[in-house]
Amino acid sequence: MSRRVRVTDTTLRDGSHPMRHRYLPEQVEAIVRGLDGGGVPVIEVSHGDGLGGSSLQYGMSATSELELIERARRVAQRARIAVLLLPGVGTRRDLAAAVEHGAQAVRIATHCTEADISEQHFAVAAELGLDAIGFLMMAHMLAPDVLAEQAALMASYGASCVYIVDSAGAMVPDDVRRRVEAILPRVPAVGFHAHNNLGLAIGNTVAAVETGAAQIDGCLRGLGAGAGNAATELLAAVLDRMDVESGLDVFSLSDAAEHVVKPVMPFQPFPDRESLTIGYAGVYSTFLLHAKRHGKRLGIDPREILIELGRRRAVAGQEDWIVDVALELASAATQR
C-alpha cells in the first residue's frame, strides 16, 4: 500500500515575503481557488511573519490579514485555512480574531531552542478548537537529538504534528534524514518545511518523506522567502512518481502556478548569489530582501552582511540587527 502525506501550501504566507506583503483580496481568492481545485488540503494565509506581523520592523501589509483570511475561507470549498503564529509577534487575541474570520488550523512557530514559550499558545488553540501544529524554525542550528527534545515539548503541549523548518535552506538530505529519524518517535507526526537556498528544497522534502514525514509544505512556483520553497506543483508530480498519495492534481496546480501566480510575482525566487549565501551562511531566509536593501543603500555587497549575520548566529525576530551589521560593515569599509 502506498503512503500518504498531507501537503500544506503556504504561497499566501511564505510568499508574502517576496510580495512585500502586498497581496490583494482578489489575488488571494484566485490563488485559493486554484489550490482548492488542485486538491491541496491545507492553505496557510497570514502576513509573512505570521499573525500580527504587519509592522515597520517586518513590513506593512497592503490589506488586513483578517480580511485575506476571511476571503480565503469564503472561496475554499474543501481546503482548510491555516494561519501562522510566532509567539512574541502574534498574540492570543490575534489568534482568536483569526478564528472569527475563518481560520481552522494554526502553526505555532518558535526558534528551534524556544519551544517552551509556545505552551500557552497551544492551550489557546485547543480552547478555540484548532488543529495546532508545531513549527521549529532554523532547525539546522540544533543537533538532531537536541531538536527532538524541543519537538517533544511541543507534542506535550498538544501539537498534532511538529515541523522541522529549514528556515535558512541550509540543510542537505542527510541533515533532514537524521532529524526526522530523531524526532519521529517523540511526536504524533513529523512535518518538513523546505527553502531552496542551496537548490535542495525538493530533494530535502523527498528525504523527509522517505524517512517518515507525514506533512510537508510547498508554494506555487516556489514563491517564498529567500530562494523560495519547494514548488507545490513539482511536489505533486514528484509524490505521484514516488507512489505517495497526496490528493494533489498535477495539471490543476501547474495551471494555477502558471496562470494565477506567475502573473502577479515580482520576481521568480531562485538560488542566485545572495539567496545562495543565505543557505551557505545559515541565516534566516527572510533576511534576503533586507540585506539587499541596506547593502544597496550603503554600497556594501549584501553577501557580506549575510555572512556576518551567519557568523553571529542571527535568528528570526532580529531583523533590526541587519541594519546594525550593515552600518558596521560600511564604517569598517570607509576606514580601510
Task: Report yes or no: 132 and 140 within 8 Å, Cβ to Cβ.
Answer: no
Nearest C-alpha neighbor of 245 from the set 7, 36, 76, 35: 7
Q: C-alpha grid cell for residue 271?
A: 538560488
pLDDT at residue 92 in the model: 93
What is the residue type of 15? G
- Residue 143 is placed in which grid cell? 543537533
pTM of the model: 0.92
Region 234-250: mean pLDDT is 98
CA distance 199 to 131: 31
CB of 295 closer than 8 Å to CB of 302: yes
216 sits in which H/E element: strand 215-218
> What whole-number distance in Å separates Cα of residue 299 and Cα of residue 75?
45
* Catalytic residue from among 17, 140, 290, 294: 17
Are 234 and 257 within 8 A, CB to CB? no
Residue 259 falls in the annotated catalytic set: no
- 294 to each of 281, 319, 334, how far by Cα in Å? 18, 12, 16
Which stretches within 158-301 are classed as H helix? 173-183, 201-211, 232-241, 250-256, 273-281, 287-298
CA dist 46 and 130 (Å) reads 16
Q: Band of the pLDDT at 317, cuts 50, 70, 90?
A: low
Tens digit of each residue's pLDDT (9 = 90 or more) over 280-309: 988 877 787 788 888 888 888 888 888 888
Q: Domains, the chain, ranges and CATH?
A: 6-263 (3.20.20.70), 286-334 (1.10.8.60)
pLDDT of residue 106: 98
Q: pLDDT, tens digit, for every residue of 142-199?
A: 999 999 999 999 999 999 999 999 999 999 999 999 999 999 999 999 999 999 999 9
